[in-house]
Every structure is written in structure tokens, then in C-alpha cells.
Amino acid sequence: MQGKIALEEHVAIDATLSDSQVFGAHVWDTLGPRLVDVQDMRLAEMDKYGIEMMILSLNAPAVQAIHDVARAVQVAQLANDALAAEVRKRPARFAAFAALPMQDPEAATKELTRCVKELGFVGALVNGFSQTGAPDNVTYYDLPQYRPFWRALEALDVPFYLHPRNPLPSWSRFYEGHNWMLGPNWAFAAETAVHALRLIGSGLFDECPNLKIVLGHLGEGIPVQLWRIDGRNGWMKAPHKYPAKHGVGHYFRKHFHLTTSGNFHTPSLVNAVAEMGADRVMFSVDWPFEDVGEGCDWFDKAQIGEADRVKIGRDNAIKLFKLKL
């Protein structure tokens, strides 16, 4: 399929490049240059495999792992200025998500507003929880101090991409002796799914009924669990004990959009479409951690209807991010 749009596609700046080495130390000679490249190798892969546009975002965990709040604000601004400079070179081929210093909700709101209104960014991508003030101080965004940020995001009418990161070592004793489960094998999905469910259960979407959240990797495992989350031990008729007014499935299907990033598996795609509808699933690769050719070859041949392929591959992203192509 020609004209695909991919939207979990990462870039590193000097201040964040080393954060990604752990995810590919054995291929760092190749992975590192791919992370900092935008206009050469990346563009050539896009042309070869029919990707018209990539929405660029900062690598992980990057800003979220900087517990010095002032430094987090500075790095976010540097990253966003760098992404904006790349987009200006080829605005027909690249757009960008804002990196945000969520350690400080007010600063994050200010930077989001700058990125959307001044730099023309199409949303934000945040790498999970933030470390705030101290290395082990983990902060999730369902907490009350983030409500003004969410209201500002809603008013700006742009999506928020909740991207994975690993749990901190001090919070992950259940992985001891099994570090193979960290990263994309398991911990990324588990951590991000918990964060998404926290947002839902907190009542955030009752207060901000027009919020739009994006999850990669076909929903971080949530779609296949929706029935059980809402219907557990159904004969007991026990209500959920959380502030939200409705079941998790209600909010997930109304407020969340999914991408195929790093999950090139047709049965999983079919499940996501069955749970969410084809209008809420979008194509992505997860450059440079996944291979553009593999992702595109899979998607172009996946056994789905052609109308759904066009929606997922292109049209849904144009509508959600208000792209002018």
C-alpha cells in the first residue's frame, strides 16, 4: 500500500541517545546512527516501502527519566526544537509529537502549548511515568496535580501518545532473575497498560470527555482483556471500586486509539479491530527498533479488507492528527 502514515517513529538528540543503547547494545553501531538520522536512511526506507509520512517523537525514556525538573524542562525544549527543525526541512514527509517535562505539570502544559501553537506539532508523546525530584520518585499522571494539564490538552484538541518505559529497578523485584522479560518482551506492555488503566479508573475521562489517548503495540495487551476487566466474576454483581462512572471498556473504546507499532501479527490486529473498530487502529513501525520493511510487508499483505487497510494505513491518522496531505 502506498501512502502509509507511521506514527511511533523515534529520534534521539545528543542528550538522550544513550538512553536507547540498552535496547540494542549488540547492534548499537547500526541502531545509534538510525536513531539520530531523519533525512537520509529513514527517508530512503519510507520511499522504498510506501510510507508517505512519519510522525517523529523522542526516544525513551529520555525526558521522563530526568529527575532534575529544571533539566527535564530544558531537554524537552531542546528535543522539540530539534524535531521542529527536521520537520521544517520536509513538512510533507514529517510531523512531530512534543516531548514533555511531565515532572512539572505547569511546565508540561506550557511546552505542549508552545509546540502545538508555535511549532505546529500534532500531539504529544510521553514515555510513561516521570521521575520527579529524586531517582526513585515515580509519578503517574492520574494524580490530581495533572488535571489542569489534561484540561489544557483537551482544549488544544490534540492526542496524547502514552509510550512505554521499563519499571525502575527498585520497583521491579518480580523480574529478578528474569530480566529477559524487561523491555518489549513484557515489561513495556505491562507498565503502560497499568498506567492507562489508572487514567481510566481515576475518573479523568468523566472530567475531560474529549481526551484522545494513543497506545502502541496494538493496545499493550488491554484489548484482549477488556471483557474480563469489566466482567470478572460477573455473577457476583460486584461494582468496580473506582471514581470512574463507567466500565473500562466504555472509556477504552471511546477515548483510545491503537497503533501496530512493533506488533506485526495479523490475529492481534484482527482482535484490536474487533474490539475497537477499524476507525481506531493505525499503522506504525517503531523505527528504528523495528524494521520498516518487515512492518510494511506484513501490513500490505495482512488478511484484512482493503477498506480497513486504507483506514488503518492512512485515513485514520489523517483524521486524528488533522494532517494536511
Cell output for 122: 500534532
State the chain's maximal CA–CA distance in angstroms: 59
Q: How far apart are CA 317 and CA 259, in angstroms?
A: 10
Torsion of the alpha carbons at 68, 69, 70 and 74, rounded to the nearest 10: 100
Give the distance from CA 221 to its chain's centroid.
14
What are the E-state strand segments in 61-165? 94-96, 124-126, 130-131, 138-139, 160-162
Catalytic position from the list 37, 142, 286, 308 = 286
Q: How far is CA 174 from CA 3, 12, 130, 163, 195, in A?
A: 43, 30, 21, 22, 18
Residue 40 designated active-site: no
Count of alpha carbons within 13 Å of 53, Cβ hemisphere only?
22
Cell output for 160: 496524547
Q: How far is CA 281 from CA 37, 65, 118, 286, 304, in A?
A: 27, 29, 29, 15, 13
Q: How far apart are CA 162 and CA 220, in angstroms?
A: 10
The pairing of strands 94-96 and 51-58 is parallel
Q: How far apart are CA 199 and CA 270, in angstroms?
A: 25
Annotated catalytic residues are 286
